[in-house]
Amino acid sequence: MQKKSRRARPSRTARKPAGPPRRNAFYAQSGGVSAVINASACGVIETAMKHPRHIGKLYAGRHGIIGALTEDLIDVSRESAATIRGLKTTPAGAFGSARFKLKGIEQNRAEYERLIEVFRAHDIGYFFYNGGNDSMDTALKVSQIGESLGYPITCVGVPKTVDNDLPITDCCPGFGSVAKYVAVSTREAALDVASMARTSTKVFVLEVMGRHAGWIAAAGGLAGLKPQDPPHLILFPEIPFEKQKFLDRVKQCVTDYGYCVIVVSEGAAYPDGKFLADAGTKDAFGHTQLGGVGPMVANMVREAHGYKYHWAVADYLQRAARHIASQVDVEHAYAVGKAAVELAVKGINAVMPTIVRKSSKPYRWTIGHAPLSEIANVEKKLPRNYITEDGFGITQECRRYLLPLIGGEAYPPYKDGLPDYVHIKGVPVKRKLTTDFKV
Amino acid sequence: MQKKSRRARPSRTARKPAGPPRRNAFYAQSGGVSAVINASACGVIETAMKHPRHIGKLYAGRHGIIGALTEDLIDVSRESAATIRGLKTTPAGAFGSARFKLKGIEQNRAEYERLIEVFRAHDIGYFFYNGGNDSMDTALKVSQIGESLGYPITCVGVPKTVDNDLPITDCCPGFGSVAKYVAVSTREAALDVASMARTSTKVFVLEVMGRHAGWIAAAGGLAGLKPQDPPHLILFPEIPFEKQKFLDRVKQCVTDYGYCVIVVSEGAAYPDGKFLADAGTKDAFGHTQLGGVGPMVANMVREAHGYKYHWAVADYLQRAARHIASQVDVEHAYAVGKAAVELAVKGINAVMPTIVRKSSKPYRWTIGHAPLSEIANVEKKLPRNYITEDGFGITQECRRYLLPLIGGEAYPPYKDGLPDYVHIKGVPVKRKLTTDFKV
């Protein structure tokens, strides 16, 4: 009997097996999205369906935790198998994400009581939260409501952040693909600049994400193989920006190579900690400057040396670029989603699956897990030995770390020349509460 | 005998066949580069090697026409067959391009006399010039030196421009790939914004190239299929920008869909013709504003409505993006290079191969040719019936025109997670002149 029910698909009418009671599960996407967060969703959903003894229905929050607070739940079982499979090749947050950080239980008990009210109404016993630093903090808080508010729940974080700044895990799903995008784009744009430099653009600046950690900027360094290859200079948040030293290096590059390619992290900052982008510059109407750090650095170079410049700001293009996703990253993303469910059905609470590197060359990895309490609110910056002594490049150690993460191409399917991304139907679960909740 | 020599590889010692004398050829890349200009180079080179009866050596100008003026010629025969083949999958200008427009023969006879001096020294009888509008003007002028200065030369232009603004030809090699990049990127970034809009970014602006014609901006319109799909608004250079009308539409979009995605051409302009990017804004030090039209439009929206925004400026990333090149575009690019040589060896002077569309669905095309005199300095703008009546979108006619051009994926080979682009050795041809020429 038990064997049979293990193979049955989840259904509200299935007879409950012996053992821990079957309960429903909640999955939500949180924070800035990535090219592969939906691949994690796919891992969670497909694996949950393989555990009908423990997991009944799987509900997704529409726009993350907000969907839970407002009882706006999506019935994942109403999506076709093709749509679920298609999540693996679709960027951004198919269920909607949110930037919403729960306060501590002491500070805002009402939010937690509301969560419990919604969870109880829908018999939710599993909570999967797919996000980065802040999100793991939220997941940790939710994992504690069993103990502090008497509502039993198994809460597992699913790592996701293009910033690659979560501790313990070797890397974060989402990062490998943005790293690949930045490395590829830097290599391509650099070829363009090299072609034109004789009579036109001599300096090119690419602004990339990473407000506090330079992992994404470092990935730009993969574009070159030899010391003279572009990018010639990388500006990391971890290295205080020294204007004169930088300008001297730009001039040297143009003299030596005819051009200079610069990758700058949005988090590049002066020695006093002030962001370069926070230059306090105003436009003619007294409004704060429009540009980011990319145009600001390009302009700095032009003022000092008069070189013709171009700049690009990749912004969302870099983290949504599923068309050039890393195969390894997609596999990581799926694997942590799968592992999260497997941990949860074993009753392991307040953890997050991690990527464990077993070797770099050849690249071998496995999945581990770590307590949320050791992950929440800890930020992993680029180690100093990953940055060259002069502060403008990446070392061989860094290259050895990064290279496996951009490995392999995981092209999405195309239709009429465009990636054929899926859209969920998003059928809402019938509400059971009559109360509303303002977020 | 004749048959045998037709099959022989070009060689300085090969006996000359009867017929027009065999002469050397010059190839140069000109103006802004693209993802597929090297595919045209590949077409020229591989085809020239098939015509040893007419074409002896093929020399490439290092940095375009400047290479001819300074007698800095690259011996293409010193490149391996693998490198030549690899040009088909390598973006930007492998031989170096230049922004350099020859003046008229009357205004700067010295430049033409210098060209003839170099051509004569190296027995150059064929001139292949790979570029856009300005370049076809240069090619036309060079084609006239036979008649006006008594130096016999066969001159054929090879079309290349991401701007897609050459007349007569149905489209321009280089455009299809940038169009594909912009359509894909718009679709991807729009999914990101849609995920986040509930609590974060509501307006996203993508700035694309096209200073005078809105072809590239129009390609962003391919990202959506239904009227409510993003991009919600496109700002074309062809449609005078009306600020209030635009701001009203942005607000309507955010109200109706929760967010608004905008694609803006760098050439978007006010009714008086002034570029939006030329807003005369200054930073705190009195310098001209740093940003382009993307950040400027985003800021305009924030000031009017207070929406949280993001913006991206793709800049060189878009035109160098060989990783997402259109298969059709690559085929066009190769075909015009091949056709240029075939026209030249027939002795047809002062022409440019064109792409002739035979049907849109299914897409069928062939190669024609047109006189350079009808192409040089004529700019093909987006026809009014390609833009919706309200001026903010593309019509079905436009979609029917654009869609075939982004068809098919022509992925480059990868090595260690990165595209494996080729680099030429660039062996210089031994100089024969003792005079220098300042450009």
pLDDT value of residue B283: 46
B125 CA to centre of own chain: 26
Q: Is B46 helix (H, G, I), strand (E, B) or coil?
A: helix
Distance CA B277, CA A313 (A): 16
- Chain A / chain B CB contacts < 8 angstroms: 237
Chunked in runs of 10, what are the mean pLDDT values of chain A (439 residues)? 42 49 96 97 98 97 97 98 98 96 87 94 98 93 88 96 97 98 98 95 96 95 94 98 98 98 96 83 48 89 94 97 98 98 97 98 97 94 97 98 98 98 98 91
Measured between beta carbons, which residues in chain A are less than 8 angstroms from residue B174?
Answer: none
Query: Phi first, then psi: what are they for B360, rounded to 5°?
Result: -90, -35
In this complex, do A406 and B419 lie within 8 Å of one another by their Cβ atoms? no
Per-residue pLDDT of chain B (439 residues; tens, 9 = 90+): 334 444 444 444 444 445 568 999 999 999 999 999 999 999 999 999 999 999 999 999 999 999 999 999 999 999 999 999 999 999 999 999 999 988 888 888 999 999 999 999 999 999 999 999 889 999 999 999 888 889 999 999 999 999 999 999 999 999 999 999 999 999 999 999 999 999 999 999 999 999 889 999 999 999 999 989 999 999 999 999 999 999 999 999 999 999 999 999 999 999 999 889 875 555 444 544 445 899 999 999 999 999 999 999 999 999 999 999 999 999 999 999 999 999 999 999 999 999 999 999 999 999 999 999 999 989 999 999 999 999 999 999 999 999 999 999 999 999 999 999 999 999 999 999 999 888 8
Between positions 53 and 82 of B, the ones with CB within 8 A of A are 63, 66
What sign results for the dihedral spanned by CA atoms B123, B126, B132, B137?
positive
Measured between beta carbons, which residues in chain B are less than 8 angstroms from residue A287?
Answer: 299, 303
Measured between beta carbons, which residues in chain B are less than 8 angstroms from residue A99?
Answer: 196, 199-200
Identify whether the C-beta of residue B222 lies closer than 8 Å to the C-beta of residue B192: no
Between positions 226 and 285 of B, the ones with CB within 8 A of A are 279-285
Q: Smallest Cα–Cα separation from B385: which of B399, B401, B403, B397? A: B397
Q: Smallest Cα–Cα separation from B432: which of B119, B58, B110, B65? A: B119
pLDDT value of residue B191: 98
Which of B33, B199, B320 has the CB atom closest to A66's CB atom?
B199
In this complex, do A283 and B283 lie within 8 Å of one another by their Cβ atoms? yes
**Residues of A classed as catalytic:** 163
pLDDT digits (tens, 9 = 90+) for A280-308: 555 444 544 445 899 999 999 999 999 99
Distance CA A161, CA A141 (A): 19
Q: Write down the ipTM of this complex.
A: 0.94
CA angle A413, A418, A420 (to 5 degrees): 40
pLDDT digits (tens, 9 = 90+) for A302-347: 999 999 999 999 999 999 999 999 999 999 999 999 999 999 999 9
